[in-house]
Structure 1
């Protein structure tokens, strides 16, 4: 039987362990449905108050003393500990700092140092551009050789020569949401004597991840998507403890020194992942992230994954039932275990259709060449909202509203 609105409302009554967390987030604009968690997650309701406290108590009043009286320097470790269960890591394995791209560069260089004299980086050819750019920059400087991977099925062949230092993979494709089998890939990489480096930007905070459980070596991820750290939030990095002290970091800064305020003339790397800290932390950005971290400390990762599965499966069923015959195709895998944080559709005019949806109160995103992405956040989106969003989508498709010149302008 086709899904009804009543069915969707009934599904919102499940997953009791997450009930109440939706109220911990700001609702957004009236009559607007947000399905762009893969671009920027919802704002925790107390984020402004936390930032205001830093501005008043920290900056206006304490000033320099804020570094001693408040916990600004401890935040990279505290925030890392808060999100560690969400990515299947231990608290001591994760630090929040810098950006995803910078962390990608740092850990690629670190992996090369650990694996010398091996110097080949295997990187996906069609991956989020910054990941490839970081590897290309290292190769351009003479620090590595690149070997491109066109399909995960070709990973054994890429590893076969025995010269690979590190394999850099995106857990979830940012366009079609295909999720790789982390355990399988790690086993192949490990058997070849190489290290794995995962980008979790489109999976952390949405689907189940088991970095320790799958014996991953290294990982990075974005703080402002599903993790809700705020616009431009610091990213995170993960280092398995067996590697944490195996080499110097690629970028040596005073915050990564073994004794930060000793101001010694020579660098000594801090123990464990603290060595990957570099410069003064962004205190205001950390305050916003801390609002999200307070929520993540209460989230059961398995309940989160189950809720995300229910939302994704419901969305796909509604699209099948209500939008067939309008030129839209499912681009993401149907199976939840093979799908990441968002559901991607293939449509020849995805970009203007996305703009039309935004204009009609359904915030989604598009990516070239023709991907339309719905990314419900498992802590805030509802099945009822999905019903409304698909009804609006169907109306726009019926009217071919995407042809309107207003929607032809490029958008982020």
Structure 2
């Protein structure tokens, strides 16, 4: 039987399916009342108390305490406390996660760290069609003469890439940013480890949406951004993960006073901090951390298993609605149907995806498109509802039926 609006409302009302998440949705700002937001893979919803936290920081901290804030407030500890808050969401220990800098900078740090720890091995293996910034970072390292790159078209090519015995690190995206295909971390990590290499995972499109178990799958290194599903705010600091077995394997590529073993001793020579602390570099961005702290307060209370179950229910519902209402109109599923193989968003293929995405945004459904033909719906598991999915797909169907993407207003490129 086709899904009805009543079915979607019933799934929202099923308390047994989301008991541990009751009340969490109310802790986020609602946004524009006539807009449906499915852009959590670009920027997550804002915790409702962010403005109050920011105002308190500005008045009591910056205006009032000034330099005393470094001593009386938690500014310097935020990279650790924020890391500890999100650690359960990615299956890690609190002491192995730090929040700092951006995903690209952290990717650079960890690639260089892996190369130093694995010398004389100098090959970086990465996906040919990975998110461009990940590739650019690796190319920059290779251009400086510090590594050689070896590309794979898919994980099926990994055994051949590892066979030479010269690979230092395999850098993979947990989830493809276009199709949302999720790689099997538990199956890949042993392949990499047996070959004597390290695994480095980019969790940007999975952290805060689906189940991740870095420690259980023996992942070596990981990075991810804080502003997507983790709801840290626009340009929020990213996170870095280091398995404790590599805690003292090498010096960091970027040595700064915050990563020193004894920050305020002001020693003339650098001594790396313990474990993940060595990936801290400069003074932390206190204003950005204050916004992220609002999200961290919520993540401390979220059961990762309940989060994953909620995401499964939402995305399975979305796929069924798209199949039933939009497939006859030229929309084809691009994401895996199995939840375990799918990341945070659901992607469909449509020849005119970019202008169609703009038409949807213009009609109150915020989605995104990626070349050449991917239309992406990213429902945040803490805030999205099944009813919203029904409404969004109904609007999509109506726009497809009248070929709204042909409107000249939607032909210009958009983010």
Matching of residue 126 in structure 1 with residue 129 in structure 2: yes
Post-superposition offset of 1:409 = 1.4
Matching of residue 348 in structure 1 with residue 358 in structure 2: no
Correspondence for 1:199: 202
Matching of residue 261 in structure 1 with residue 264 in structure 2: yes
Matching of residue 7 in structure 1 with residue 7 in structure 2: yes
Matching of residue 370 in structure 1 with residue 373 in structure 2: yes
Correspondence for 1:115: 118
- Farther off after superposition, 275-284 or 260-269: 260-269
Matching of residue 158 in structure 1 with residue 161 in structure 2: yes
CA displacement, residues 209-255 of structure 1 (integer Å, 9 cap, x when unaligned): 00000000000001000000000000000000010111110100010
- Give the alignment's TM-score, normalised by structure 2: 0.99
Post-superposition offset of 1:259 = 1.3
Query: 1:9-408 counterparts in 2 under 5 A?
Result: 9-14=9-14, 15-408=18-411
Stretches of 4+ aligned residues off by more than 4 angstroms = none
Post-superposition offset of 1:191 = 0.7
Report the 3-state secondary structure (helix = DSSP H, G, I; strand = E; otherwise coil) of the residue aligned with 1:325.
helix
Cα distance in structure 2, aligned partners of 1:58 and 1:79: 19
- Structure 2 unaligned blocks of 5 or more: none
Report the 3-state secondary structure (helix = DSSP H, G, I; strand = E; otherwise coil) of the residue aligned with 1:355.
helix
Cα distance in structure 2, aligned partners of 1:28 and 1:49: 16
Cα distance in structure 2, aligned partners of 1:218 and 1:13: 39
Post-superposition offset of 1:327 = 1.3
- Structure 1 unaligned blocks of 5 or more: none
Post-superposition offset of 1:324 = 2.1
Cα distance in structure 1, aligned partners of 2:190 and 2:296: 31
Report the 3-state secondary structure (helix = DSSP H, G, I; strand = E; otherwise coil) of the residue aligned with 2:13.
coil
CA RMSD of aligned residues (A): 0.5
Cα distance in structure 1, aligned partners of 2:29 and 2:411: 30
Cα distance in structure 1, aligned partners of 2:10 and 2:240: 38
CA displacement, residues 7-56 of structure 1 (integer Å, 9 cap, x when unaligned): 00010123111111000000000110000000000000001111111111
- Give the alignment's TM-score, normalised by structure 1: 0.99
Cα distance in structure 2, aligned partners of 1:272 and 1:16: 37
Cα distance in structure 1, aligned partners of 2:51 and 2:243: 34
Cα distance in structure 1, aligned partners of 2:142 and 2:23: 49
Q: How many residue pairs are counted as aligned between the two chains?
A: 412
Post-superposition offset of 1:264 = 1.3
Post-superposition offset of 1:271 = 1.2
Report the 3-state secondary structure (helix = DSSP H, G, I; strand = E; otherwise coil) of the residue aligned with 2:9.
helix
Cα distance in structure 2, aligned partners of 1:171 and 1:274: 24
Cα distance in structure 1, aligned partners of 2:339 and 2:275: 35
Cα distance in structure 2, aligned partners of 1:28 and 1:2: 30
Post-superposition offset of 1:351 = 0.5
CA displacement, residues 354-412 of structure 1 (integer Å, 9 cap, x when unaligned): 00000000000001111000000000000000000000000000000010011111111
